[in-house]
Chains A and B, each alone.
Chain A
Amino acid sequence: MLHLLVFSVFGLICVAGAINLLVQRHPINSALSLVVVMGSLAVEYLLLGAEFVAAVQVIVYAGAIMVLFVFVIMLLNAGVEERSKGSRVAMLFGVPGVLIGTVLVAWVLLARSGTGNVAVGALPGPPKVIGWLLFHDFLLPFEVTSVLVLIAIMGAVVLASHPGSKQPDKREG
């Protein structure tokens, strides 16, 4: 009972945040509603027992990636978004399509997916076990993603630095 209550409260917050992201015209409001979505998703992870995933979700997603988004919005001083022709076509055809698809998927899931019930903390994912898995069963993917991150860092530095402008003169320090 309590489980269902917590699940539905945070699920509703989640969906409300996601819809608010779509409705808001200003990117900073969208970014903040996405932070709300991520925070309530962390609670859902906790309900499923994935404590480490929940913590990392808050630290990495809400605390780092979204801060980066907010930072870029502030840096570029992004204003209210303007609606143009392309979006009207997408709204006419895309949105109903997505809606129909979602309803279909939801119906299949609810009516005949054959999945059981889950209790609170159904599958605990303590950091120790996750770490063991990462460094044994998933060692190769782990190393590959580390290379990916390295490439991303270098790419970001190259892309965001002013094209053509020379490195500023080395001062002291």
Chain B
Amino acid sequence: MTLSVFILVSVIKIVVALGILLTAVAYTVWLERKVVGHIQNRWGPTRVGPFGLLQPLADGVKFIFKEDLLPPHVYKPLYIAAPMIALIFALTSISVIPIGNWVTVLGIHTPLEITDVNIGLLIVLGITSLGVYGVALAGWSSNSKYSLLGGLRAGAQMVSYEISLGLSLVGVLIMAGSFNLREIVDAQSGTFWGFIPRWNIFQGQIVAFFIYLMAAYAETNRIPFDLPEAETELVAGYHTEYSAMKFAMFFMAEYANMITVACLATLLFLGGWNGPHRFGPPLLQAVLPVFWFAVKIFAFLFLYIWVRGTLPRFRYDQLMAFGWKFLLPLAIANLVITALIVALRA
């Protein structure tokens, strides 16, 4: 593959991936409003388009045409930069996440992701760990007490839960023996006794999955751990002073992060694009892995929304105690036991 072809293919893939991600973000918002509405015995959005399907579009137009307020007391450079930082890091992390096998289109053999790197997981973790700057700086630069408290909470919470998140993944890494997301998925192909898939969650990593789930809720600032933006006490937390498109950027960043977390969970614990795909014509067989991947992500996002509609919010000291005194020891214990089993088996 020559350099120009490589650049062309990469640009096409970036555009397509961004398009898919932004559409997914918009429709995750729609899904959330719809599902939470039904959980609370309401209808959710119904007016714009059939089933309210055009609601995200209407919301986007509304955000664009709203007045972009710049409060007089803010620290301007960081106030403007913070939402961009949050959104950029949220969108970038999708670049190394594979959504299917290698494909050959028009004689070009290429992976179904923007780039296939052998430390993919570390890159995702690194980029998402930088996302905390957007939240923290937004809280600080807004120069308001609610924002500052929200930003402080977010900083402490995200750094604390990142440790449990990282440790919960190490068990999977030990079993796969690689940081490459593609190899981790390949290690989960096949079945036990012909019907139980060899996903990591069925290979004894169910505790790790639970830890990952909890830590992921905290990392993305979602209920039950949405203390940084707790409406009842902090107005809106770190984005209290934001409006129009800047607020929308935080909003999009949050949902993009949710999708990234769902992708990681699917790749690491739920077998990625593996699924029963041994039927149908060749074209169907080529598309099916991507379909299974999407189904798993949808299920994970649905779980997210379900939890949001069900659980109340933690108190802050409970959140910290849960993270440090329960999740972290559990993650370490899980890591030790997994390592022991792998060592004994070898």
The answer to A–B direct touch (Cβ < 8 A) is yes
* Chain A residues at the B interface, C-beta cutoff of 8 Å: 28, 32, 35, 51-52, 55-56, 58-59, 62-64, 67-68, 70-71, 73-75, 126-128, 171, 173
Write out the residue numbers on chain A whose beta carbons fall within 8 Å of the beta carbon of B139: 74
Write the chain A residue with the least CB distance to B120.
A55
Contact B159 A55 (CB under 8 A): no
Indicate if the CB atoms of B136 and A71 lie closer than 8 Å: yes
- Asked, given contacts A52-B122, A59-B126, A63-B126, whether A74 binds B148 with beta carbons under 8 Å apart, the answer is yes
Q: B69 at the A/B interface (Cβ < 8 Å)?
A: no
Q: Are A127 and B133 in contact (CB under 8 A)?
A: no
Contact of A55 (CB < 8 Å), options: B122, B140, B151? B122
Check A74/B119 contact, CB under 8 A, given A64-B129, A67-B159: no
10 smallest beta-carbon distances between A and B, as pairs: A63-B129, A55-B122, A58-B126, A71-B155, A59-B126, A74-B140, A51-B119, A55-B119, A173-B318, A67-B159
A-B contact pairs, 6 of them (CB 8 A): A28-B137, A56-B122, A62-B129, A67-B136, A67-B159, A73-B140
Asked whether B118 lies within 8 Å of A126 as measured between CB atoms, the reply is yes
A58 touches B137 (CB 8 A): no
Q: How far is the CA of A56 from the CA of B119 in the complex (A)?
A: 11
B155 and A63 form a contact (CB under 8 A): no
A74-B133 contact, Cβ under 8 Å, with A28-B78, A52-B122, A55-B123: no
**Cα distance, A71 to B129, chains bound together (Å):** 14
Q: Does B152 contact A (CB under 8 A)?
A: yes
List B147-185 residues whose CB lies under 8 Å from chain A.
148, 151-152, 155-156, 158-159, 162, 177, 179
C-alpha spacing A56/B125, complex, angstroms: 10
Judge if B321 is at the interface, Cβ distance under 8 Å.
yes
Query: Are A74 and B118 closer than 8 Å at their CB atoms?
Result: no
In the docked arrangement, what's the CA distance between A55 and B130, Å?
12
For the complex formed, measure the closest distance between the CB of B132 and the CB atoms of chain A, giving whole angstroms. 6
Chain A residue contacts of B78, Cβ below 8 A? 28, 32
Given contacts A35-B133, A171-B317, 20 further A-B contacts (CB under 8 A): A28-B140, A32-B78, A32-B137, A55-B119, A59-B122, A59-B129, A62-B129, A63-B126, A63-B129, A64-B129, A64-B159, A67-B155, A70-B137, A70-B155, A71-B156, A74-B148, A74-B155, A126-B118, A173-B318, A173-B321
Tell me the smallest distance from the CB of B204 to a CB of chain A, in Å.
22
A45 to chain B, nearest CB (A): 12
Per-residue contact bits, chain B 63-77, to A (CB 8 Å; 1 contact, 0 not): 000000000000000
A62, A64, A74, A173: the one contacting B152 at CB < 8 Å is A74
Residues of A within 8 A of B321 (CB): 173
Please state if A62 and B156 are interface contacts (CB–CB under 8 Å): no
A64 B148 Cβ-Cβ under 8 A: no
Query: Are A127 and B152 within 8 A (Cβ)?
Result: no
Q: Do residues A63 and B162 form an inter-chain contact, with CB atoms below 8 A?
A: yes
Residues of A within 8 A of B152 (CB): 71, 74-75
- Complex: chain A residue closest to B141, CB-CB: A28
**Which partner residue on chain A sits nearest B123 by CB separation?**
A55
Q: Across the interface, which residues of A come within 8 angstroms of B159, CB to CB?
A: 64, 67-68, 71
In contact, A74 and B136 (Cβ under 8 angstroms): yes
Bound complex: CA A152 to CA B344 (Å) = 33
Decide yes or no: A62 and B118 within 8 Å by CB, A67-B159, A74-B148 being known contacts: no
Interface of chain B residues 33 through 89 with chain A (CB within 8 A)? 78
- Bound Cα distance A64, B159 (Å): 7
**Assuming the A-B contacts A28-B78, A63-B129, A70-B133, are A127 and B119 also in contact, with contact meaning beta carbons closer than 8 angstroms in the complex?**
yes
CA distance A32 to B141 in the complex (A): 13
Do A67 and B133 touch across chains, with their CB atoms under 8 A apart?
yes
CB distance from B26 to the nearest CB of A (A): 28
Residues of chain B with a CB closer than 8 A to A171's CB: 317
Contact status B132-A67, CB under 8 Å = yes
Question: What B residues does A173 contact at CB under 8 A?
Answer: 318, 321
Beta-carbon nearest neighbor of B125 in chain A:
A59
**Contact bitstring B107-140, A, C-beta under 8 A = 1, else 0:** 0000000000011001101110110110011011
* Chain A residues closer than 8 Å to B127, beta-carbon distance: 58
The answer to whether A58 and B129 touch across the interface, beta carbons within 8 angstroms, is: yes
Q: Whose C-beta in chain B lies nearest to the C-beta of A173?
A: B318
Cβ–Cβ < 8 Å partners of A68 in chain B: 159
Shortest Cβ gap from B209 to chain A (Å): 22
Q: Check if B129 sits within 8 Å of A70, measured CB to CB.
A: no
